[in-house]
Amino acid sequence: MHVARKDKRAYIYSLEELKDAQTHDDLWNSAQIQMVKEGKMHGFLRMYWCKKILEWTTSPEEALRFAIYLNDHYSIDGRDANGYVGCMWSICGVHDQGWAERAVFGKIRYMNYNGCKRKFDVKAFVARYGGQAHVHAPGPPIPASRTKPIKEPKRRI
């Protein structure tokens, strides 16, 4: 499915920043903290979490690598086929229809913070996991050469 590769992103995060829940988005940070602490997150929130990785990385390939790494490293069901399909659905549009063209996402289904607020109590979720937002000034995308290489994840047992 088509993704708008060359569109400028308002935020670009490294794997380290994502791993450490250091983004401007308190909901995303809380979801990452929940996955690190509990090894899981709700399916709806997991889709949002993964789609934001697409929005905040330099390419769909990098987004998929980061999402799979984080999923495999921190989720109880890491390395399960369903986890891979979830990442592919969120980032690549696998098993989904094409949607209206949009910046960064191309024809990939879009999800946003306000949509999450319509589905569940975001404020309570953020309060529970403490995913405070970190201030990042929007700027030009960081070149791929500044992103850190992915190391083989250590297996959690």
Per-residue pLDDT tens over the stretch 96-119:
777 778 888 888 878 999 999 999
Look at residue 27 and tell me whether its pLDDT is greater than 80: yes
Pairwise CA distance, residues 145 & 42, whole Å:
33
140 pLDDT tier (thresholds 50, 70, 90):
very low
Q: Which residue's structure tokens are 């960064």?
A: 104
- End-to-end CA, the chain: 35
Tokens describing residue 112: 């946003």
CATH number of 15-132: 1.10.579.10
Residue 102's SS3 state is: strand
